[in-house]
Amino acid sequence: MNVRRRFRWSQVGWGVPALLLLSVQTTWARPTEMHIMEGFLPPGWAIFWFVVAIPFWIIGFRQIAGLIAEKPETRLLLGVAGAFSFVLSALKIPSVTGSSSHPTGTGLGAILFGPFVMSVLGGIVLLFQALLLAHGGLTTLGANTVSMGIVGPLVAWGIWKGMQGKAPLWLTVFLAAAMANLLTYVMTSVQLALAYPDPIGGFAASFAEFATIFAITQIPLAVSEGILTVIIVNALMGTASNELRTLGVQGA
């Protein structure tokens, strides 16, 4: 049984580097991205979003420390959740006006560990992408964490908690992951509209413009991410059922 479990985990492990290689190639192929780029936000707004993100990071780090101390067997799942988000959010799909969209991969971590832990994992993912892939930036790390690492996971966690046991598992997972993706981009559009309101239409006009730019590619991406997350959760049910039960995932 142990040999079989190690073999299955090795399959997951070999898949991550392959996807990572693809993500690096895709990232360097496009100079623009949906993560807010380095230096794009005015200093006041950049600082504001750091202030919003820091409490989530503090609580998240405490929860991770407690989780590792009390349930050390879940460390592999923490790594899988972080790698899943890193790989998916680095895969950029060309959008209109020379920009690009991408999945977020935060729904899985939010389902397994909750929004505070995912805020830390999301922040680490965004930090490494900014340093290694020129994807996002250090001054915009707070803003990008709020949209991808906080708002998205909060939505996923709310759907997961609200629907768990009341709907089929696949549907709950699908909606949690897909809506986390969509609300990430809604929040990013809010952040950009607040920083750069339209001279005539103000915040509302600017928000509509930013949100419309990515809607064409983001909706199918959200659906695709929802389906992929369902597949990953089903795979984990077979390879890490004990760990999932430890985390209280029903149906594991």
Question: What is the pTM (predicted TM-score) of this model?
Answer: 0.81
Question: Residues 112-122: what's their mean pLDDT?
Answer: 95
> In which band, very low, low, confident or very high, does the pLDDT at 99 lie, cut at 50, 70 and 90?
low
The whole-number pLDDT of residue 96 equals 52
Confidence of residue 33 (pLDDT cuts 50, 70, 90): low
Which residue bears the tokens 């919003």? Answer: 52
The tokens describing 64, both together, are 């991770």
Report which of residues 38 and 4 the model is more confident about.
38
Given this model, what pLDDT does residue 25 score? 37
Give the Å distances, CA to CA, from 229 to 42, 81, 224, 244. Answer: 35, 11, 9, 15
d(CA 44, CA 167): 43
Confidence at residue 174, expressed as pLDDT on a 0 to 100 scale:
97
Specify the range with the lowest mean pLDDT, choosing from 18-27, 58-67, 100-109, 224-233.
18-27
Q: Which domains does the chain have, with CATH numbers?
A: 33-246 (1.10.1760.20)
CA distance 153 to 116: 8
